[in-house]
Structure 1
Amino acid sequence: MKYIKDPLKIEEKSFEIIKSNIKREFTLDEIPVVLRAIHSTGDYDYENIIRFKNKPVNVGIETIRGGTKVFTDTKMALSGINKKSLLITESSIHCYIDEEKIYEISRLKKITRSMAAIDKAVEDGTEVFVIGNAPTALFRLCEYIEKGIILPKLIIGVPVGFVGAEESKEILYKLDVPSITTKGTKGGSNVAAAIFNAILYMAVGR
C-alpha cells in the first residue's frame, strides 16, 4: 500500500490541492492564512467568510518578531499554537481560563470565565488576542477597545456558535484595529490557532 508518510510532505500536498481550488483573490501575505484555515477545517467556505482589516498579517508579523504577549481564550487553541516557534521571539502566551482567581472573579461579578480572563489579559498588557470559542470574550474585549482602555496590536476573533458569535465578530470588524475575523457562525479554537500559526510561521519560520 503506497501513501505519503512524511507529515510535512502531507501538509505540503494538502496546501497544493487547496491553493489550486481557491477562486477568490488574496494578497501574498493573506493567502497562507486562508490556506491554513481551510486545511484545519477541510472547509473551502473559509475562502468566502474570512475577513482581514487594517493589514493584520503584516502587523502581526512585526509584533511577533519584536516579542509580545499573546492571549488565547481556550486550552485547545493554546495547545494548537506552535510554542517552540513563538519562543524564538521571546514572546509569551497565556490562557487564564482555568486559574482559580478567574473562577472566583467570574462568580463574584456574575460574568463568564472568558470575560474574567479578558479582564486579566487587559490588566497584564496583552497585545495579541486569539479568540476562537467564546463570544463573551470577544464582546468584552471590544468593550475595552470602545472605551479607549486598550488598543491591541492584533485580534484574531473567530468564535464559533449560534449565540453571540456572529454578532461579536461583526462588532470587532467595525472597530479600527488590525483583525482577522469570519462571517457568520463558523470558527473555533482550531481555526484561531491555525490563523495565528500561519502568521507565526511567516514571522519566524518553523
Structure 2
Amino acid sequence: MSPRAVHPIEAESYRILHSRADLSALPPLTRAVTERVVHASADLDYVTDLRCDEAALRAAHAALRAGCPVVTDVEMVAAGVTRRDLTGPVLCRVTDPRAAPLAREQGITRSAAAVRLAHAETGPGAVWVIGCAPTALVELLRIDARPALVVGLPVGFVGAAESKAALRESGLPAVSNVSEKGGSAVAAAALNALLYTEESR
C-alpha cells in the first residue's frame, strides 16, 4: 500500500506540536496515538491525560491489519475513521431500528442497546471506539466482549471520567484518558493513529 499523503497543514500542525512537546521518549504506537489526538484537538493536556498500553496497541494494530471489525458508539466517530481500506467493517448500531425498542424494553440508553446489537453481530476480537456516550462504555464493560482494544474516550460531565476509570480498572486492552474531556474527533483520531502507522517506528 502506498504511503498516505500528508497535507501541508497537517505537517505544519505536527511541527508546531513537536516544538511544544517532546514525545520522543514514548513507545512508538503510544507516541503515534498521543500525537494524533493532540493534533486533532490542539490540546496539549492530552500528553499527560491519555493512558495507553503499548502491548495492547501492538495487538490492536495487528488485529486491524487482519481485518477485525471496528465498532463505534456514534456515527460521528464512524465518519472520522479515514482509512477504512485497512480494516474490516466499521459498524455503528445506534441508529439501528432495533436499538430504541431494545432500550425501552431493557430500561437502558439507546447507546447501550447499540452496544448489545453490535456485539451480537461481531462477537469477540473487535476494536471498539467510544467517543460520545459513557453509557456505551459502561455497557461494553458489562458484557463479555473480549475486545482487541477499547478506545474509551467519551466526553461529558456525567459519567465520562467514571466510565473511563472503570475501563482502566477492568484490565481490558484500552486507550483512555483521566479527565472528563474526550469526544468523537479525539476517539477517531486515536484509532486513525493505529491505521496510519504502517509499522512500529
Say whether the 8 Å CA contact 1:54–1:179 is kept in structure 2: no
1:112 to 90, 97, 109: 109
Give how far 1:56 is off: 2.6
1:71-116 deviations in Å (ceiling 9; x for gaps): 000111111111xx32244x11101111111111112212101100
**1:87 aligned partner, one-letter code:** D
Helix, strand or coil: the match of 2:192?
helix
Unaligned runs of 5+ in 2: none
Say whether the 8 Å CA contact 1:56–1:178 is kept in structure 2: yes
Say whether the 8 Å CA contact 1:122–1:150 is kept in structure 2: yes
Mapped to 2, the partners of 1:169 and 1:121 lie a distance apart of: 20
Helix, strand or coil: the match of 1:51?
strand
1:87 is aligned to 85
1:124-168 deviations in Å (ceiling 9; x for gaps): 115110000100010111112xxxx23111000000001110000
1:18 is aligned to 17
**1:21 aligned partner, one-letter code:** R
Is 1:129 matched with 2:133?
A: no
Is 1:189 matched with 2:184?
A: yes
Give how far 1:59 is off: 1.3
Is 1:201 matched with 2:196?
A: yes
Say whether the 8 Å CA contact 1:160–1:188 is kept in structure 2: yes
Is 1:101 matched with 2:98?
A: yes
TM-score by length of 2: 0.90
Say whether the 8 Å CA contact 1:74–1:133 is kept in structure 2: yes
Say whether the 8 Å CA contact 2:86–2:195 is kept in structure 1: no
Q: 5 Å matches for 1:141-180?
A: 141-144=140-143, 149-180=144-175
Deviates further, 50-59 or 40-49: 50-59
Q: 5 Å matches for 1:55-94?
A: 55-82=55-82, 85-89=83-87, 91-94=88-91
Give how far 1:54 is off: 5.9
User: Sequence identity, in percent?
Assistant: 35
* Counterparts in 2 of 1:122 and 1:54: CA distance versus 1, 3 Å: farther
Say whether the 8 Å CA contact 1:54–1:176 is kept in structure 2: no
TM-score by length of 1: 0.88
Mapped to 2, the partners of 1:203 and 1:7 lie a distance apart of: 14
**2:168 aligned partner, one-letter code:** Y
Helix, strand or coil: the match of 1:156?
strand
Say whether the 8 Å CA contact 1:62–1:203 is kept in structure 2: no
Q: CA RMSD in A?
A: 1.7
